[in-house]
Amino acid sequence: MSKQETKVNKIRDFHHESIANREEFWRREAERIHWDEPFTRVLDDSRPPFARWYVGGRTNLCYNAVDRWLPQYADRAALVWVSTEVDQERVYTRRQLYDEVNAAAAMLRGLGVERGDRVLLYMPMVPEAVFTMLACARIGAVHSVVFGGFASVNLAQRIDDAAPKVVVSADGGSRAGKVQAYKPLLDKALGLCAKPPQSVVIFDRGLAPFEAVAGRDLDYAELRREHWGRQVPIAWLESSEPSYVLYTSGTTGRPKGVQRDTGGYAVALAASMEYVFGGKPGDTYFCTSDIGWVVGHSYIVYGPLIAGQTTVLYEGTPVRPDGAILWQLVERFRVNALFSSPTAVRVLKRQDPALLKRHDLSSLHTVYLAGEPLDEPTARWLSDGLGKPVIDNYWQTESGWPILSAQPGVERTPARFGSPSFPTYGFDVRVVSETTGEDLPAGQKGVVAIVPPLPPGAMSTIWGDDARFVQTYFTSIPGRQYYSTFDWGRVDADGYWFILGRTDDVINVAGHRLGTREIEESISSHAGVAECAVVGVADELKGQVAMAFVVLKQAAPVDDPDAARALEGDIMRLVEQQLGAVARPALVRFVGALPKTRSGKVLRRAIVAVCEKRDPGDLTTIEDPSALEQIKESLQ
């Protein structure tokens, strides 16, 4: 920290200490979890950029999430499941969770799963998915959760890479009231695999009739009955032994198997539940993500449970039965902290704002949003509408927990909308020049990079490919072996960070380099806009031009060509005023939806391809293919 800085506050000191006295800092934090055997060294970074945290320590994620809290919270809700898709609810106390996890662990052991073996989950948002994840952790198996409903090709790719001994799946899921059959997708995927697993366990919800393959497919309920009442001993893992592999969502290309350790992850999550999420044991935490994403791993399953909290698992959308469902659940279960995504809030923005006020939200202290850029108008809309703080936090599948965030458990700092606030303790994060690798001063835009070692809880390597880990993440910053986030950022004079989009989302208009994110921010400040995507499209004259696709708050996009043209003009003028004439989009088109991945990220690559009249390529991760069609049509 430089001496010129005048406003030194608690949060900066805290961060500084976490870097300057790294080992002391993390030694102290390690006391948050149970170690069956103490570690002999806090950190081994003798082989950079690899880092091993808590060398020699033995612990277990399942023990810390379940067994450890039994004496205190046996009869208190540990897992609350609500499905507005199938209109069911179940509440599991810690004792019941313990029983279910043990039965699932016995079932996996019975199928020959041993420590270090992989188990792949392809499941909807049901408690059995959580039981299976925790059961894997209990016996030291490595789970790999693949987002339910991913297409066969994606699934086959991941099965081949992880080579699981067992796949646990379900007959189907349901989304927005429509049943999605999983089993046919799974069967097809297994047909595509080079080395399919020996056993497949199906949790039959009675949603989508299927045919079991004799000798391979087994019934979850039957196995559960068979193993009910069994107690499975904990496998005490060395801290660096892998807990799971999670494939990145693939917004930018071939998925990478992000490998997580055990001890570092447990400590990092436990600490974040207090410092970032302002929680304590006994609290109730509700994260609307999916277990197929990193946010679900860290903040539906492991984080809250390791911290002795109640976690809410929700199968449903934010708008069914109506746009107040999230708030209704907050009221009913006395939720203390809610974690959702900007996409979900943008969906709510198209609903009656009075819905934000319909329920008693007195239990709720903060709303957290992550996963994509949170534009200022959206953050303000939610915060004003709820009368609650909204915290934007920035991270990646790779980091496992927030890299940038306000940290109310350390100090309450004023929010600056549009900014995920400050570096989180443990992350030595910098804004560096893409050409020299040097640190950039406040105000300048550069690449967000992290100086290794990555803190506890961050990825330890790419599954089965150490060389690819180094090559992918640590070789793009000139002259330094830094971890690149592949995101642009800037720090303002007061130390607030801003994420300015991905490094591959920069466009070059007549020699001017523009971030599509900045143009999107500008368009989003128009009162009629719910969300938008800006892409750079090849142009003979200017190299590239910006094109904007806008979803309006009013349900129907403008059909009247004159009205559309007038609105297009308004938006172009707005961007010109805010960012200058070079940033003005070449065209603005109104669509009903943006093409997104199933995790809610805009598929810019595909939009660019359509705009350039090219084949959009692999679209298996797309949520709604008609959204891309709409873009195609809007260009005609």
List residues near ligand ATP by CB under 6 A. Answer: 248-252, 255, 370-374, 392-397, 420, 485, 487, 499, 502, 599, 601
In the block, which residue shows the tokens 């279960």? Answer: 333
Helix, strand, coil shares, percent, the chain, to 5 = 35, 25, 40
Contacts of residues 67-74 at CB distance under 8 Å and 24 or more positions apart, as own/partner, are: 67/98, 67/234, 68/34, 68/308, 69/94, 69/281, 69/305, 69/308, 70/94, 70/95, 70/98, 72/281, 72/308, 73/281, 73/282, 73/308
**CB 593 → ligand ATP: shortest distance, Å?**
18
Query: Exposed e or buried b for every residue in 297-316, given b needs 16+ CB within 10 A?
Result: bbbbbbbbbbbbbbbbbbbb
CA dist., res. 165 & res. 258, Å (int): 19
**CB 18 → ligand ATP: shortest distance, Å?**
20
Shorter beta-carbon distance to ligand ATP: residue 59 or 249 = 249
Shorter beta-carbon distance to ligand ATP: residue 69 or 394 = 394
Shorter beta-carbon distance to ligand ATP: residue 199 or 396 = 396
Shorter beta-carbon distance to ligand ATP: residue 59 or 154 = 154
Tell me the residue length of the chain.
636
**CB 619 → ligand ATP: shortest distance, Å?**
15
**CB 62 → ligand ATP: shortest distance, Å?**
25
Shorter beta-carbon distance to ligand ATP: residue 420 or 423 = 420
CA distances from 246 to 151, 297, 398 (A): 16, 9, 9
Shorter beta-carbon distance to ligand ATP: residue 373 or 616 = 373
Shorter beta-carbon distance to ligand ATP: residue 63 or 395 = 395
Q: Which of 509, 518, 376 is nearest to 445 (CA)?
A: 518
**CB 519 → ligand ATP: shortest distance, Å?**
15
CA dist., res. 389 & res. 391, Å (int): 6
Q: What is the CA angle 54-55-60, rounded to 5?
A: 65
Shorter beta-carbon distance to ligand ATP: residue 420 or 595 = 420
Instruction: Report phi then psi at 5, rounded to 5.
Output: -65, 125
Shorter beta-carbon distance to ligand ATP: residue 141 or 291 = 291
CA distances from 514 to 359, 508, 544 (A): 42, 6, 10
Shorter beta-carbon distance to ligand ATP: residue 164 or 373 = 373
CA dist., res. 2 & res. 111, Å (int): 58
Q: Which of 223, 219, 369 is nearest to 295 (CA)?
A: 369
Element (H, E) at 183: helix 183-192
Shorter beta-carbon distance to ligand ATP: residue 60 or 599 = 599
What is the full DSSP assignment across 90-112? EEEEHHHHHHHHHHHHHHHHHTT
Element (H, E) at 536: strand 529-539
**CB 393 → ligand ATP: shortest distance, Å?**
6
**CB 154 → ligand ATP: shortest distance, Å?**
11
**CB 404 → ligand ATP: shortest distance, Å?**
7
CA dist., res. 560 & res. 298, Å (int): 46
**CB 493 → ligand ATP: shortest distance, Å?**
20
Respond yes or no on whether the N-terminal peptide bond of residue 49 is cis (omega within 30° of 0): yes
**CB 386 → ligand ATP: shortest distance, Å?**
18
CA dist., res. 190 & res. 152, Å (int): 8
3-state class of 480 per DSSP? coil
**What HEC string does 202-246 produce?**
EECCCCCCCCCCCCCEEEHHHHHHHHCCCCCCCCCEECCCCCEEE
**CB 149 → ligand ATP: shortest distance, Å?**
17
Q: Which of 285, 288, 308, 307 is nearest to 296 (CA)?
A: 288
**CB 447 → ligand ATP: shortest distance, Å?**
11
Q: Which of 104, 128, 140 is nearest to 182 (CA)?
A: 128
Shorter beta-carbon distance to ligand ATP: residue 148 or 172 = 148
